[in-house]
Amino acid sequence: MSRGISADTVFIRDLRVSTVVGIFDWERRIRQTVVLDLDMSADIRRAARSDRIEDTLDYKAVAKRVAQFVSAAQFQLVETLAEEIAGLIIREFRVARVKVTLHKPGAVSGSKSVGVSIERSAPSR
């Protein structure tokens, strides 16, 4: 690992949020639960030294903001929802890289879950 580059990850698993997502008319009239796994690159060395929440990526704040956004969202595709979540995390929490895995339980008969997993990076500054 190069000096100054951190491979640290702050993660959230199994964040469940009710939203409107789907292409069928019946899906547009109901709320469905989506399940999110988030992996966010964050250099946690400063926080490890200071032991202060202000020096790290606050996963509770991220979870609260993402849940708020997803709950209010109304997208047709899980791909669009995942892309918007990734952009929100990068913009609002200044994360350099994020992986969003979005599960839509019960969407396909016989499967536990379907969905998408995307990785996005902040634009170079």
The question of whether 104 is a catalytic residue gets the answer: yes
CA 86 to CA 121: how far, in whole Å?
9
Residue 84 belongs to what H/E stretch?
Answer: helix 78-93
**Catalytic residue from among 60, 64, 104, 112:** 104
Pair type for strands 9-21 and 32-41: antiparallel
CA 73 to CA 37: how far, in whole Å?
18
Partners of residue 35 on adjacent β-strands: 16, 103
Cβ pair 89, 101 in contact under 8 A: no
Query: Phi/psi at 2 (nearest 5 deg)?
Result: -70, 150
Catalytic residues: 104
